[in-house]
Structure 1
Amino acid sequence: MTLEDALGRDWDVIVIGTGIGGGVAGRRLAERGLNVLFLEQGPAGYRAEQTALNPDMFDPVARQVRGAWPKPMQARIDGRDSEFFGPIGGGVGGSSVFYAATLERPAPHDLDDSAEHPHPTGGWPVSHADLRPYFDLAEDLFHVSGDPDPLAGFASTSLREPAPMSAADQALQSRLSANGLHPYRLHTALRRVEGCRNCLGFKCPKRCKMDGRSAGVEPALETGRAALLDRCAVRRLVAEKRRVTGVQAERDGRAVTFRAPIVVLAAGAFGSPRLLLGSDQGGLANGSGMVGRNLMFHLNEMIAVWPGKAIAAGGSGKALGFRDLYHAGGERLGMVQAMGVEVRYGEIVHYLNQLLERSVLRRIKPLKQLTWIPALIAAKLFGSAQVFVGLMEDLPYPENRVVLDPDDAGAIRFEYTISGEMRARRRRFRRLIRAAFRGHRRMFLGFQPELNFGHPCGTLRFGHDPRTSVLNADCRAHELDNLYVTDASVFPTSMGVNPSLTIAANALRVADRIADQFERKADGA
């Protein structure tokens, strides 16, 4: 769509952002008969490309052309400043076009408060039961396949049959089961499409990996009631009284303003609060002072596991996960899942060099030249290893927050301190993960706490109390009658699973609330 066409047409809803939250919400709204305009800061890209996020690519134009966020993140973590390229997308589909397509359903204790599992925030403003039909619908839209979680306590009605497991995965599953665990095949958004290659971590050239683009934006466009304007950077929201009256943006150097009765903000847990903070003095919709605060990630605990040299020849995949450590000993930990990658000789050398750098032997320079010897021995004796990751739940703290860069309003900047309670939970989580893989040779691939910068959430939390939240239970701003949010920024807690399915389910729920409003108005209610 051209800029002139977009400006000359009447829209029911403007959706800012095209990741899972924006894409799925826009699709649902279009399928329910509303006219939807997607505004995306990055380019649409080429549909047949298969590119990955590359943290070593520094040229902003090259990054933007490939759909990656063009600028490095500016972070102050535990009082230390750092700059790095995070795993954040910057084109149509957002970060989801690069994700590993894991769509796990949260457990009831992630959302609900109970005597058995007290919730740290008192529970989400919507219950697990309220979201259950939307979890089912999201699993269907994303073609999610996998086995039912044996510890879930309820059956998922929408899961498709997963692909067969490799010999290595079958051996691991048997050993984990023998250790008293309950492994199952992970829930992944992968369709079986002829000629499709492994696109986990890559842009998918076909529609085999379902993401914000293939499961959201593209089906929305196919309805004929939605349009996409890419390379359109939203700079500011203009509000009068209790309504957003204009979406100010820039495209090809031209300043433009879009208007619609409803605005859906889905620019991500970094982008959405930045836009509100920069839209008004003190921040738009920020009477609580909570815009940008309560930033959360997950904490990654990666461990290499050797199934055995003969078995490992069968290959590995992103197949297995287990939830036995999800809520252990009264502590909120998280699930453990395969990453779909193998560790070979080169990765072992890199790990040993990292270990050396953190030890008292780091000053003995010749030792670094000798790490290839034990690495080669390990590779010869044990074969290649599979990598698993434990996703440990993060909890909300107001001091962890997204902030505006005084020199560049479009830059991602945040402040984060790892809490003492998180460090204590991490120690217990690592002990339990190591015990879970007893009987295997295993080795943790990290020493210090590792934040998962691809899972930011919580910066525009929804809740019942306007004093402690930005949005109400329908994810509408407490202070604005026509502004909704459908990305991970709404999460009150990070949960112990990947966020993608919950983003999609909540986006469907919010879209239904918006569409219901239009239907009531059409009926004269």
Structure 2
Amino acid sequence: MVDSHYDVIIIGTGAGGGTLAYKLAPSGKKILVLERGNFLPREKANWDSHQIFKKERYRTTEVWYDKHGKAIRPLTHYYVGGNTKFYGGALFRFRENDFNRVIHKEGISPEWPLKYQDFAPYYTQAEKLYEVHSQQGLDPTEPQITEGYPFPPISHEPYIQEINDALKDKNLHPFYLPLGIKLNEANRFLSSCIRCETCDGFPCFLNAKSDADINCVRPAVAYENLTLITQAKVIRLHTNTSGREVTGVETEIAGKQYIFSGDIVVLACGAINSAVLLLKSANDTHPNGLANSSNLVGRNYMAHKFGVVIALSTKANPTVFQKTIGVNDFYWGEKDFPYPMGSIQLLGNINKDRVAANAPPFTPGIIAEKIANHSVSWLLITEDLPDPKNRVQVKGEQITIEYTNNNEQPFNRFIQRWISVLKSIKLNSQKGHFSVFMPQKMSLKDVGHQCGTCRFGENPETSVLDINCRTHDVDNLYVVDGSFFPSSTALNPSLTIMANALRVGEHLLERMS
């Protein structure tokens, strides 16, 4: 920390920042990576559902607030690798039409300034970097993929294979989820992954999940020109008198203040915290927040409309690794509802601790265990439409998320439509069927798919970033997390954030050369 000037400073190590660090590390440029958290400890609690879901061992203790002033404990984590340490590893490419203007039942999803073809080569690079397993040709909405997936699909266990076949009998098109995981089913001696039941929502004790920490940050820190400082919280960005250049990155480390400088500064704090940092960095030249001449920093916050459908059968579910099926037949709607509805994917196993964490108070343990042992859980994602009134704000030191639900009609229809499908299928070998359903909608605290707070575009009046994710107002300031999304689509955002980081990294290498 003695030499405080760098060619590039990257703030954050998640899907965006970690991937960018990996891309830039071989350049020989002097790079500083700042992460507010530490490396996540490898310990027995990594696989302890009681510690993770009941005691919330790894979750931030931060408190945010909703538009009514009610406290929110956000479901987010501050570690090297960010939220990818806990994600399920579902790494989807957005569909070609997701980049176009799309009419929804309750609004419009705007056109992106770049198209699928602009991201396609970087999707390919990201899939290789994050070791994505899947199979082409099964998903009817699948975009063009020229090279195919780098690894074969993760196989279905017998009970899940029955569900897969039953869905096909209903003329649906289930497919293998594209998963970033270090599993070699052909040779278990070469496999880091042991295909356990503590994957989706858990950190991996074996480092067998393809997360930004393991796949990107750790290879990057092997280069002598890259310095990683953990437990370093950036609290403010300083500019020169013209406001056109960031000259200082004010950082708190072990209770002391440091100011680092860099030719290029990149925010990758997550869509909420990147917006917060820009807003907190207001100065005389940028009175409404840094890079905020458009008054759009923090606006158009999106995080998807999530629903979980827990389907119960009289027959026990013996599956260990469950998260292998996706269904996109309703992504663009259906015959009598010509509006997008969304995507469906299996979730990892739920056990009694996970059920109890979301059940009404005083639910008996035996009930929670019965539900866990006889259930299959599905995640339904409907697009969250951008709305400038849905925004991240800073009031003093208080972070507020002002959010009003939208796109509710297709979301509700989607949940009921999927329940009707599950009711109709039969599981042959066990002569079972799903007869009890527990739909749950996730709330404002579920920020894992956060995006949209610094959208990119060509017009400085209607966007915060240009098409290379550089702020229109500040020449050496970039943002490479999900902030840049003009729309949320109805698919997991991680792969698009990773692909974009590789794309922006290529631009930065050209700029620095």
Normalising TM by the smaller chain, what interval? 0.7 to 0.9
Deviation, 1:423, is: 1.5
Q: Distance in 1 between matches of 2:163 and 2:438?
A: 19
Give the secondary-structure state (helix, strand or coil) at the position aligned to 2:108. coil
Change (3 A) 1:483 1:49: farther
Which residue, 360, 380, 388 being the options, matches 2:378? 388
* 1:428 and 2:428 correspond: no
Amino acid at match of 1:337: Q
Report Cα offsets for 1:374-412 as digits up to 9, x if no partner: x69x959x9611100111110111111111132x2xx54
Which residue, 311, 316, 324 being the options, matches 1:319? 324
Aligned to 1:22: 17
Amino acid at match of 1:492: P
Give the secondary-structure state (helix, strand or coil) at the position aligned to 1:250. strand
Q: Distance in 1 between matches of 2:355 and 2:400?
A: 31
Change (3 A) 1:181 1:477: same
Amino acid at match of 1:239: T
Q: Distance in 1 between matches of 2:155 and 2:121?
A: 28
Alpha-carbon contact 2:95-2:143 (below 8 Å) kept: no
The residue correspondences of 1:295-374 to structure 2 (distance < 5 A) are 295-306=301-312, 309=315, 312-315=317-320, 317-328=322-333, 329-342=337-350, 347=355
Can you give the 5+ residue segments of structure 2 that lack an aligned partner in the other structure?
184-190, 426-432
Alpha-carbon contact 2:132-2:150 (below 8 Å) kept: yes
Q: Distance in 1 between matches of 2:346 and 2:78?
A: 26
Aligned to 1:222: 222
Which residue, 101, 106, 128 being the options, matches 2:116? 128
Q: Distance in 1 between matches of 2:83 and 2:353?
A: 30
Change (3 A) 1:201 1:94: same
* 1:467 and 2:461 correspond: yes
The residue correspondences of 1:372-451 to structure 2 (distance < 5 A) are 384-406=374-396, 408=397, 412-419=399-406, 422-437=407-422, 438-439=424-425, 440-446=433-439, 450-451=443-444
Bigger Cα displacement from structure 2, 145-154 vs 329-338: 145-154
Which residue, 294, 300, 304 being the options, matches 1:294? 300
Give the secondary-structure state (helix, strand or coil) at the position aligned to 1:445. strand
Aligned to 2:65: 74
The residue correspondences of 1:42-61 to structure 2 (distance < 5 A) are 42-46=37-41, 51=46, 54=52, 57=55
Deviation, 1:121, is: 4.5
Deviation, 1:9, is: 5.7
Amino acid at match of 1:91: Y
Which residue, 470, 476, 485 being the options, matches 1:476? 470
Amino acid at match of 1:482: N
Which residue, 265, 270, 273 being the options, matches 1:271? 273
Deviation, 1:443, is: 4.3
Amino acid at match of 2:164: Q
Give the secondary-structure state (helix, strand or coil) at the position aligned to 1:277. helix
Q: Distance in 1 between matches of 2:215 and 2:128?
A: 10
- The two structures have a TM-score, normalised by structure 1, of 0.84
Amino acid at match of 1:445: M
Please report the RMSD computed on the Cα atoms of aligned residues, expressed in angstroms: 3.1
Q: Distance in 2 between matches of 1:45 and 1:372?
A: 30
Q: Distance in 1 between matches of 2:447 and 2:437?
A: 19
Q: Distance in 2 between matches of 1:488 and 1:100?
A: 17
The residue correspondences of 1:196-275 to structure 2 (distance < 5 A) are 196=194, 197=196, 198-240=198-240, 241=242, 242-275=244-277
* 1:39 and 2:37 correspond: no
Q: Distance in 2 between matches of 1:121 and 1:239?
A: 34
Question: Across the two proteins, how many residue pairs are aligned to each other?
Answer: 480
Aligned to 2:447: 453
Q: Distance in 2 between matches of 1:175 and 1:337?
A: 15
Q: Distance in 2 between matches of 1:383 and 1:105?
A: 33
Percentage of matched positions with identical amino acids:
32
- The two structures have a TM-score, normalised by structure 2, of 0.86
Change (3 A) 1:222 1:428: same
Q: Distance in 1 between matches of 2:111 and 2:226?
A: 35
Q: Distance in 2 between matches of 1:243 and 1:277?
A: 16
Change (3 A) 1:221 1:346: closer
Q: Distance in 2 between matches of 1:349 and 1:118?
A: 33
Aligned to 1:112: 100
Aligned to 1:523: none
Q: Distance in 2 between matches of 1:49 and 1:37?
A: 32
Greater share of helix residues, 1 or 2?
Answer: 1
Aligned to 1:522: none
Give the secondary-structure state (helix, strand or coil) at the position aligned to 1:324. coil
